[in-house]
Every structure is written in C-alpha cells, then in structure tokens.
C-alpha cells in the first residue's frame, strides 16, 4: 500500500491550519509546528479577567462559500453586526452604519483551535532551519530538537521569517521572491473599563490620529461582561514607536484614547502588544513553490484578499499546489 505523504507545516495560524486541513483531506499525514503556546497566530485572544481582548484581528469579512461553510461547520465563529463610524480629529463622526463581520466565539482564537483539533501540533517549537536529507527535509528547532524527515514542507511565517528559513535550506531564489512581500506593523492597546463606555459605535476608524481602529471587544457575541476595547495604532505611528517601552506606549495610547473619547472615564486596565508583522501591504499573487524540493510558502501575504480570509484561501491554494507537485 502506498505510504501517505508526510508533510510538515510550519506555523499554526489560519494559513497553516487551512493547508493542513486540505492536505489531510487529500490523504497526507500532517504535523504542525508553532513557536507560540497555542495555535492562531494573529487571530489571538488575551484573557485578563474580567476582560478579554482580541488583540490581533478584531473580526473579518468572509465571502468565499467554502470558507463560510468551514466556519459554520466548526461552530467556532459568529456574525457580529457592529455599529461603525469614522472618527475625525475635531470629534465629528461620519459615515455611521452597521457592518456585519465574522468573529471567533468566544474569542478570535477559537477559530484556530477548532481548525487545529484533528492535528498533531508541536507548540512552543520555533523552527530555525530546514535541512535536506536524501530528497526529504529535516526541521531543526531552537531547542536543538530535530523533526522528520518529511516528504514536503509548507512554510507560513511572515515573509521576512519565511525568507530566513528558506535561505537556511539553500533556497536563495525562493527566499528573494518571498522577500518581495511587505507587511506593516501595529501596536495594540488593550483597554479595560469599570463600566460601559458611552460611545455611539462599536468600531471606530480614523485616518488621522494615533489610533487607526478602536473596537469594543466586549460588544462581540459571547464575550465576558467586563467592558473592553482594543485600539490598533496607525502603521506609521507603530513603526516610529515600536521599540518604546511598554509604559510609554500605554501612556501614549491612553492619551490617544482620551482624544477619541474625550468625555469618557479612563481605563482601569491598560496593556500593550507589538505586532511586528500585522497586515500585508504588498501581497504576492499566489503561493510560492519550489517544485524540485516539495516546499510551498504561503500566508495572508500570498493572497490578494489578505486578512483572515486571504490566509485561509492561501493555505488551501498552497495545499493544492503541493499535492500537484508531489503526485507521482
């Protein structure tokens, strides 16, 4: 009987998990690796009772019927009709309207947890190098553990980190192609309040100030009652302040919050999170592959849609590409 294809997927974010699902349906045996404590990557949730914060993607639009069917089948997400508005520097609000977004329930990380359930995942395992081994691949982790050999590898970290892994494998051309994708950073402020914040919107966006998006996290379905907001700083500000210390960032984001919500009480909880690679600003047009070595690279940054849906579509495309490369 033919042995199943033994595939390593580096990164258990939405792209890696989507690729794993598609490969598994095609009969492959899949092992995932992630440097974090849990799956999800940028679809992340932090608990700080009585507050919860989705400090990465706050929610997302979905249009692809297969993606929506997956979300519905897994029961890990719900539609959230959010009151949105554009915030102006002079305090005016314009373009107030309701927008329906998908959110994970009870947190954004629930989607990745549900997608990850069928798989073996090596968590807290940062893969540092890929080594060829008689036509297959061995993975070396920071911890000096090694894994494999694998018949094929799907690489899903952000472009700069994927490029470093590919370079370690001697795949300089592929690394250079990957490095053409660009990402923007984002500093997130996690704000918890004593009582409900009386703003007339759940998602406020601004093209001018420090805060680009402010989301009432506790307004989403099935969240704890503690009033929580996540503010995402503008990309340029995030870049300029990326290495400021936590207390300086917390103070700056609290000041920025006061500018957005002048007549409301200050938060009783403030913490920050730095995303070095938050959003794809220059995505590539599809997964990258090296047919001779059975390596495929993908992420939200290899699909024009970008975002959570783009990551899911990119993972599926990468799996289909890998299956076509490896099919005898």
Ligand X SMILES: Cc1cc2nc3c(=O)[nH]c(=O)nc-3n(C[C@H](O)[C@H](O)[C@H](O)COP(=O)(O)OP(=O)(O)OC[C@H]3O[C@@H](n4cnc5c(N)ncnc54)[C@H](O)[C@@H]3O)c2cc1C
The footprint of ligand X (CB under 6 A) covers 10-16, 33-36, 41-43, 56-58, 60, 126-127, 156-158, 161, 186, 188, 232, 275, 278-279, 299-300, 306-308, 311
Instruction: Using the minimum distance from each CB to ligand X, give the nearer residue, 14 or 260.
Output: 14
Tell me the closest approach of the beta carbon of residue 12 to ligand X, in angstroms.
5
Instruction: Using the minimum distance from each CB to ligand X, give the nearer residue, 54 or 151.
Output: 54
Instruction: Using the minimum distance from each CB to ligand X, give the nearer residue, 1 or 78.
Output: 78
Instruction: Using the minimum distance from each CB to ligand X, give the nearer residue, 235 or 327.
Output: 235
Tell me the closest approach of the beta carbon of residue 194 to ligand X, in angstroms.
25
Spatial distance between the Cα atoms of 76 and 168, rounded to a whole number of angstroms: 37
Instruction: Using the minimum distance from each CB to ligand X, give the nearer residue, 263 or 305.
Output: 305
Tell me the closest approach of the beta carbon of residue 101 to ligand X, in angstroms.
8
Tell me the closest approach of the beta carbon of residue 328 to ligand X, in angstroms.
29
Tell me the closest approach of the beta carbon of residue 267 to ligand X, in angstroms.
18
């Amino acid at each position: 009987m033919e042995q199943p294809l033994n595939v390593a997927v580096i990164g258990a974010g939405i792209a890696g998990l989507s690729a794993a699902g598609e490969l598994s349906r095609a009969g492959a045996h899949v092992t995932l690796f992630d440097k974090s404590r849990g799956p999800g990557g940028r679809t992340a949730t932090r608990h700080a009772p009585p507050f919860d914060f989705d400090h990465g993607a706050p929610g997302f639009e979905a249009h692809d019927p297969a993606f929506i069917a997956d979300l519905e089948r897994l029961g890990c997400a719900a539609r959230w009709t959010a009151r949105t508005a554009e915030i102006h520097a002079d305090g005016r609000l314009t373009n107030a309207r309701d927008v329906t977004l998908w959110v994970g329930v009870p947190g954004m990380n629930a989607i990745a947890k549900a997608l990850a359930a069928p798989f073996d995942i090596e968590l807290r395992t940062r893969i540092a190098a890929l080594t060829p081994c008689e036509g297959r691949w061995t993975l070396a982790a920071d911890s000096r553990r090694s894994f494999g050999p694998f018949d094929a590898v799907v690489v899903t970290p952000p472009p700069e980190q994927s490029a470093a892994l590919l370079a370690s494998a001697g795949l300089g051309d592929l690394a250079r192609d990957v490095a053409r994708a660009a990402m923007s950073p984002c500093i997130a402020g996690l704000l918890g309040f004593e009582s409900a914040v009386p703003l007339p919107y759940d998602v406020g966006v601004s093209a001018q100030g420090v805060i680009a998006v402010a989301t009432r996290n506790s307004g989403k379905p099935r969240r704890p009652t503690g009033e929580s907001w996540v503010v995402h700083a503008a990309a340029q500000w995030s870049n300029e302040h990326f290495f400021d210390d936590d207390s300086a960032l917390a103070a700056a984001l609290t000041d920025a919050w006061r500018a957005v919500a002048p007549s409301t009480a200050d938060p009783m909880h403030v913490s920050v999170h730095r995303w070095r690679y938050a959003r794809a600003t220059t995505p590539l047009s599809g997964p990258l592959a090296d047919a001779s070595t059975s390596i495929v690279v993908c992420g939200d940054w290899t699909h024009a849609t970008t975002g959570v849906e783009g990551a899911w579509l990119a993972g599926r495309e990468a799996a289909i590409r890998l299956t076509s490369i490896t099919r005898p």
